[in-house]
Amino acid sequence: MEHRNIENDVHDLMQICINKFDSLTDGDLIEEFRKSLTGRYENLTKEVYENTYLKNLEIPQIQLFDILANRFPLVIEAQNIIGRALIESIKEKKNITILDLGIGRCIQVERLLHLINNVPNIQSVTLIGVDISADSIAFSGKVLEEIQNKLHFKMEIHLFNKTVEDIEDLRIQSLIPLSNDFLFVNASLTLHHIQSKNDRLRLFKLVSLLKPDLFTLIEPNTDFFNTNFEQRMVNAFEHFGSLFSFINTLPLLTKEKKGLKSFFSNELFDALAIPEDGRYEKYDLSENWVSLGTNLGLKVFKLDSFSDQTYIPGIEIENKSIDYVNFKVNNSNLLGVIAFSS
């Protein structure tokens, strides 16, 4: 009887979403949504939901990260916008520092370093990279060691296996050379993992005190920070439904599309099944990230001139009359690219 009641509850919740977004009928979405809602009623142990990313997927998780960074156009083009903004900003600079919050496997940073290598004035780059994954930090160290001798400028590297919330322990200011004339702080698909508003505020305060010349964020543009479960569920159905329909249009193998959907399904499971105090995929609206920065005295750095040349089939790109670049599909917001300066 209890099992039947759970099925009824899951069915009723799904119908709320399906009735609201009747065009989102992707079979993978429906299946993963049902799994996640069912998981909400199960007695999940802390070990289960803390290790969501260790699931035995058809494509290993680390490969999915690489597909996301190398072949998923939303992420690639968002990072390209940031790259163009950075290069335009440092044309007359000589010694720059990059603080990357969530450096991962160094894919974005490696691209940026190759772009910077085309700026003849640059004499030195100090790179400070932080990531929660020890494996990623080790991998990034090897990548940076390999490319270091191919760059025309000197590079000093500091890599730390920490959460971004803990970077105040690193005394970042002491790692920035006195000769530095440009500080770039980058956070790509990282800051939504910070669980509390207070910790987000604390991180932004720390960054603002560093007085960055450019501070950039790439973040999903939807509200999973909401503690109202039904509203969060509706937001998740719209966001992942639109995302899955976009993935269906990509020139990838069926297995790769399934893999990407599995990657995002981990985040769907986090939004719907995991208890509030255990969730780490707390997406927030781009306008809230903008408010967080501007309330601390950071200035919006307009990116519209760097996104005008961006084109992704099936994606609408908003870059006028708003304080960030917004990627949309079927009128649903997917991803925001946000930038500040001091």
pLDDT string in tens for the chain (342-residue length) = 455 588 899 999 999 999 999 888 889 999 999 999 998 888 765 555 554 444 555 555 556 666 677 778 999 999 999 999 999 999 999 999 999 999 988 999 999 999 999 999 999 999 999 998 898 899 999 999 999 999 999 999 999 999 998 888 789 999 999 999 999 999 999 999 999 999 999 999 999 999 999 999 999 999 999 999 999 999 999 999 999 999 999 998 898 888 888 889 889 999 999 988 888 899 999 999 999 999 999 999 999 999 998 999 999 999 989 999 999 998 999 999 999 999
Same domain, 211 and 241: no
CA angle 288, 330, 252 (to 5 degrees): 100
Same domain, 272 and 286: no
Same domain, 262 and 323: no
The whole-angstrom separation of Cα 109 and Cα 186 is 9
Burial 113-135 (b: 16+ CB within 10 A, else e): beebeebeebeebbbbbbbbbee
Q: Is residue 61 part of a domain?
A: no
Q: Is residue 65 part of a domain?
A: no
The predicted pLDDT at position 1 comes to: 40
Domain that holds residue 337: 71-221+282-341
Q: Is residue 326 part of a domain?
A: yes
The predicted pLDDT at position 41 comes to: 87
**Quick one: how far is CA 249 from the chain centroid?**
21
Same domain, 144 and 258: no
Q: Is residue 66 part of a domain?
A: no
CATH at 78: 3.40.50.150
Same domain, 331 and 237: no
Same domain, 265 and 287: no
> Which of 153, 171, 154 has the alpha carbon at shortest distance from 162?
171
Same domain, 272 and 289: no
Q: Name the domain count of the chain.
A: 2
Domain boundary residue among 277, 294, 309?
A: 277
pTM metric for this prediction: 0.93
The whole-angstrom separation of Cα 137 and Cα 129 is 8
Q: Is residue 62 part of a domain?
A: no
The secondary element (H helix, E strand) that includes residue 143 is helix 134-147
